[in-house]
Amino acid sequence: MRRNLPFVLCLVPALAHAADMNLTVEIPALKVAEYHRPYVAVWVEREDHSVAANLAVWYDTKKADGEGTKWLKDMRQWWRRSGRDQSMPIDGVSGATRPAGQHQLRFTDGKPPLGTLPPGHYELVVEAAREVGGREAQRIPFDWPATRPVHLSAKGSEELGQIDLDLNP
């Protein structure tokens, strides 16, 4: 029995380590006459474009009587695929709008909001819409789970800046 102990101890760290997804979303600083922070939705889509997981929804949470939810439909892709079926706020997913800059998000397989994604091909989608501004969505295809560390990225042109996705086994 004692001879097997080192082998068992070698397995424990591997079992305790779950796959993770690290995301950086840049909201660019815009020089415009009337600036409003964008609403942003981040989700994972299956190959059939159904939503596998809602990861983040940033909107104006401070408006009285839930008035901020009124403009969620401006994120058209997210709204059509998932948003209209949601009851806001979504625990662990929704939050206040963010200022210009880089915002870090980390998700772990098996834990909300990512949950347990079955192995397969997916797309990470980031969509932003801004009052008195535009709307933009970026997609990053990826395979899950990653078998080795993978870095993927996309670059927005108006409402979104650099988006970096790092997958770790």
pLDDT tens profile 45-59: 999 999 999 999 999
As a whole number of angstroms, the distance between CA 66 and CA 22 comes to 30
Beta strands in 30-134 (DSSP E): 39-45, 51-59, 94-96, 101-108, 120-129
Start-to-end Cα distance in the chain: 31
**pLDDT at residue 12 in the model:** 42
Q: State yes or no: pLDDT of 90 exceeds 80.
A: yes
Question: What percentage of the chain carries pLDDT values higher than 90?
Answer: 78
**pLDDT at residue 15 in the model:** 44
**pLDDT at residue 17 in the model:** 56
Residues ≥6 apart with Cβ < 8 Å to 5: none
Assess contact for 117 and 44: CB atoms under 8 A: yes
Q: pLDDT confidence of 65, banded at 50, 70, 90? A: confident
Average pLDDT over residues 13-20: 62
